[in-house]
Amino acid sequence: GAVVSQHPSRVICKSGTSVKIECRSLDFQATTMFWYRQFPKQSLMLMATSNEGSKATYEQGVEKDKFLINHASLTLSTLTVTSAHPEDSSFYICSVARVTAGGRSYEQYFGPGTRLTVT
Amino acid sequence: RKEVEQDPGPFNVPEGATVAFNCTYSNSASQSFFWYRQDCRKEPKLLMSVYSSGNEDGRFTAQLNRASQYISLLIRDSKLSDSATYLCVVNGVGGSNYKLTFGKGTLLTVNP
């Protein structure tokens, strides 16, 4: 079954508005979640690491004031795209990390993604 | 050199064929390695982790060569449902076990 859910799956908004995307860990409590972005025909790019109860860690080149992340509980992280512009149109995907059997490594499981179109 | 580099593809193969994907990574300190598959306009789904000794899961075999910084995925007896983009993914870049770096992916189309 699904490990991670995201809502909404698709959103169309006007330029200048803000959009909130929710990511929920369904199977376990996740102190850390991740937000990625994927443009057409491109790789997934990590935007930020969301930490429960503390500030998110942003990757270089990602504006923290534009992409607001809140990780208020162990099962929910939200990404708000503020003052969205057409160039923010993309596929936004969250993930959670789970320790593999035997504790050898972490495996990441992705939500179904949110397709944002800014007109 | 890109952090994770894959065969650009695309690969078009008939049903039943065997197909191999290759991937190289640049950071010798990388700790964990994965193959994900991504269907068109969907999220990536974990196909298999790749361990040093190599591992097999049904028709899929993954190999890791740390000395050459090389990862491979072999698919035997291809099915139509194997059509997807296959992503080589490396963990542990930048000293973090969590951070994943993705290759651009290799598109596979299995034809009837």
pLDDT tens readout for residues A72-87: 888 999 999 999 999 9
Coil, helix or strand at residue A54? coil
Q: Which of A106, A110, A115 sits opposite B32 (nearest CB)?
A: A106
CB atoms within 10 A of CB A9: 12
User: Mutate which of B36, B42, B100, B101 to disrupt the A interface (most A C-beta within 10 Å)?
Assistant: B100
pLDDT of residue A92: 97
Chain B residues within 8 A of A104 when measuring between CB atoms:
32, 51
User: Could you give the percent of chain A with pLDDT greater than 90?
Assistant: 68
Coil, helix or strand at residue A18? coil
pLDDT of residue A29: 84
pLDDT of residue B1: 66
Q: Which residues of A61-73 are buried (b: 16+ CB within 10 A; e: fewer)?
A: ebeeeebbbebee
Average pLDDT of chain B is 90
Q: For the segment A33-69, what is each residue's pLDDT rounded down to a tens digit?
A: 999 999 988 889 999 998 888 889 999 999 999 999 9
The distance from CA B19 to its chain's CA centroid, rounded to whole angstroms, is 12
Q: How far apart, in whole angstroms, are the C-alpha atoms of residue B82 and residue A112?
A: 19
Q: Which of A32, A44, A115 sits opposite B98 (nearest CB)?
A: A32
Q: Is A113's CB within 8 Å of B31's CB? A: no
Q: Is A111's CB within 8 Å of B43's CB? A: yes
Q: Which tokens belong to B89? A: 């993914």
Chain A residues within 8 A of B100 when measuring between CB atoms:
34, 44, 46, 108
pLDDT of residue B93: 55
Residue that has been written with the tokens 């890109």 in this structure: B2
- Which pLDDT band, with edges at 50, 70 and 90, does B3 fall under? confident
The residues on A that touch B, with CB distances below 8 Å, are 32, 34, 42-46, 49, 91, 93, 97, 100, 104-113, 115
Q: Is B98's CB within 8 Å of A97's CB? A: yes
Q: How far apart, in whole angstroms, are the C-alpha atoms of residue B84 and residue B108?
A: 5
Arithmetic mean of pLDDT, B79-92 = 93
User: Could you give the percent of chain A with pLDDT greater than 70?
Assistant: 93
